[in-house]
Amino acid sequence: MQGYSVLKGIGSPAALLAAGFLFACAGGADSTGRGGIVAQRPLAISTPDPPPPPPAGRGGEGEIVSTVIDARPAALVNGRVVQWGELRPLLNEAAGAMVLQEVILDRVAAETLVRRGLQISDQDVEAERQMFLDALSEDADLAVRLADEVRARQGLGPQRFQRLMRRNAMLRALVRGDVRLNKSAIQRMYQMVHGPKRQARLMVLPGLAEAQAAIERLGRGESFGDVAVQVSTDSSAARGGLLEPISRADLSYPEALRQALWSLESGEISSPVLLDHGYAVLTLVREIQGDGADPAQVRPELERLARRHHERLLMDQLARQMLFQTSVTIFDKALQDNWRRQR
């Protein structure tokens, strides 16, 4: 599964909420995933080799429909037609698996709602959109601008964004009754929001050799940001690997990553940190002290954030479970190849 996270690194109430909004965008979440670094397990989904096409002139109705769609013009390039048949395999190869996962979640979540006798309304979907905007900024105009930036970065056009909001609303309705708060959850949320944090730059490499090579480049004097832009597979690469401040108590980051970050001195480069899908290299940018807020005074806000945080984790868990339990057979070769690569 691809990661969904936006605003990588949770360090404030706004970021905490915003990070959850995209968790189903790519079929479950870089889950509680931050910055694309949280481990993803393989999907239990069947992808057999596609069957051979029927002999010419003997295709069924599906083949006729597909042929008609493939022959439709998608664009003109210098006056010459580009047909959908030319674009479709390329689109499937580039992002087909991600979109297929979204469709799977849409369908399974809707079916599960029906089985449980639950419904969502247009107001529930709008509440998800407003929750996303509120998480980005208290300034309504700034929130809209930031939302446009996030959507552009994630490739979310109007249709995918609307489906995402509806998908989140469905999943939230399905887990709402399972949210439980306890004293430790409130205390952890206090540490996440008001406690000390560390800000890091991160790069994620596919293998140990690549991670060691990146560290050697840093040792020769290249800046961490420049190397991250060039080689990191994490979505923070565009920002030179810079993450938002991280709380030691934020369990949505891998323990190995937090442990490595809290062992560093300012400017120090970590050894490669093993993740389920690659190796992380970190450097400590700065330490941020807690704000000393009175826990009793901020408890109502902590409870709200802790509930939202637990809700988001349960939504992600449910999305993963749905994908694990779904059987899918893929017939398009390019889509199948993309699916296998994502797995």
pLDDT at 125: 95
What is the residue-wise DSSP string for 46-72? Answer: --PPPPPPPPTT---HHHHHHHHHHHS
The per-residue pLDDT for 63 is 53
- Rounded to whole angstroms, the Cα distance separating 175 from 331 reads 33
Helix/strand/coil percent split, the chain, to 5: 55, 10, 35
pLDDT class of 343 with cuts at 50, 70, 90: low
Q: What is the mean pLDDT of residues 52-79?
A: 63
Q: Which pTM was predicted?
A: 0.68
Higher-pLDDT residue of 21 and 159 is 159
Bridge partners of residue 77, in order along the sequence: 80
- Domain locations in the chain as residue ranges: 13-53+88-181+301-342, 196-288
Task: Find out whether 330 and 47 touch, Cβ atoms under 8 Å.
Answer: yes
Average pLDDT over residues 219-247: 93
Instruction: Assign domain 196-288 to a CATH class.
Output: alpha beta
Res. 32: pLDDT tops 70: no
Can you tell me the mean pLDDT for 158-168? Answer: 94
Q: What's the mean pLDDT in 10-25? A: 40
Contact 277, 40 (CB under 8 A): yes
